[in-house]
Amino acid sequence: MIRFISVVLIIFAYGRSQVTENEENCPGSTVNNYILGPDGYTMQPTVYTGESPKQGKPGKRGTQGEPGLKGNKGTRGEPGQADNTAEELQMLKDEVAEMKTKLEFYLTPPSCDYINRTEKTSGTYVISPDLWTVQPFSVYCNFTGETETIIEHDSMNEIQVTSCEPNKCYKRQIRYNVAMEQIVALIQRSSECRQFIKYRCIDSVLLYGSQSDRGAWLSRDGTHMKYWGGATSQRNDYCACGETGTCVNSNLKCNCDANSQTETADEGFLTDKDTLPVTGLQFGDATAPGEYGWHTLGPLICTGRSE
């Protein structure tokens, strides 16, 4: 109970802090800052009236007085009688949750999808997928087509696998410019996320040849994942062509697993929100001269909303 009340007070304090710098303005002047409106949920521009800040009203349900909403220095109302019924607690929780959603919308958008794109251009924006658990961070917002929130990493271009033979002998860590907890908050706030992954090969097995577990991508928590992009069933050893029976060798589940001297590739999107983003890439069977592999990993792209 105390925690929820504190949170409410912090939120109101934040709202009020937005207008303190305008105390010198002339009476009646309109200022550009926004403050929580009288209903406690919607924001509205502040108009400095020159009057003393108003006292907040006493709490409606005997829990906590409402903060003064209009005045720059409005003080809190008198606390009512404490009444800790489960129903009251739930109402307060609901109220706080709704307030949080409104604040996120007006202060920092949870993702690019919450930005009104009619008057914006694609570019870098600050988002805050969860106002209470992670710091805001910068992403690329793509407003062409469906709005995309994009997080890049340090291995965006195609990279050649350095010569080595045993399973997973080549290891590349993928580093993002924002913390994993921030990325996960965005994923949880989005309805869909995807990441493109590709292995281009000459005589280099990707997932399964005479030995299994040749290559893998590492999940969010570092688990070796044994299916490839585009394999929607997520079954081990499957690439996209294996799902549709269209691999260069129709008995196999990946083009590269044919281990052929003819260049080929396996590619597609990873879409599992529980395991994205990719944190590492590992390959083997790429001993030069003769065996070559190249990997490409796209940025993490999230779309839609998940409340």
Q: Which of residues 258-297 bind ligand NAG (CB under 6 A)?
A: none
Measured from the CB atom, the residue of 176 and 292 that comes closer to ligand NAG is: 176
Quote the least distance from Cβ 298 to ligand NAG, whole Å.
Answer: 9
User: Which residues have a Cβ under 8 Å from the Cβ of 151 and sit 6 or more positions away?
Assistant: 139, 140, 176, 177, 178, 183, 186, 277, 299, 300, 302
Q: Which of residues 89-128 bind ligand NAG (CB under 6 A)?
A: 116, 118-119
Measured from the CB atom, the residue of 106 and 132 that comes closer to ligand NAG is: 106
Alpha-carbon distance 201 to 271, whole Å? 23
Alpha-carbon distance 245 to 26, whole Å? 74
Quote the least distance from Cβ 150 to ligand NAG, whole Å.
Answer: 6
Measured from the CB atom, the residue of 137 and 170 that comes closer to ligand NAG is: 137
φ, ψ of residue 119 in degrees (nearest 5): -115, 20
Q: Residues binding ligand NAG: what is the number (CB under 6 A)?
A: 7
Q: Which of residues 122-181 bind ligand NAG (CB under 6 A)?
A: 142, 144-145, 150
Measured from the CB atom, the residue of 144 and 251 that comes closer to ligand NAG is: 144
- Helix/strand/coil for 226: coil
Quote the least distance from Cβ 180 to ligand NAG, whole Å.
Answer: 22
Which secondary-structure segment (H or E) carries 31? strand 30-36
Quote the least distance from Cβ 118 to ligand NAG, whole Å.
Answer: 4
Measured from the CB atom, the residue of 150 and 164 that comes closer to ligand NAG is: 150
Cβ atoms 208, 214 nearer than 8 A? yes
φ, ψ of residue 216 in degrees (nearest 5): -165, 160
Of 38, 43, 41, nearest to 8 by C-alpha is 41
Quote the least distance from Cβ 246 to ligand NAG, whole Å.
Answer: 25
Measured from the CB atom, the residue of 32 and 144 that comes closer to ligand NAG is: 144
Quote the least distance from Cβ 116 to ligand NAG, whole Å.
Answer: 4
Q: Which of residues 204-263 bind ligand NAG (CB under 6 A)?
A: none
Residue for token digits 């002047």? 29
Strands 292-297 and 159-160, by their bridges, are antiparallel
Q: Given the rule CB under 6 A, which residues bind ligand NAG?
A: 116, 118-119, 142, 144-145, 150
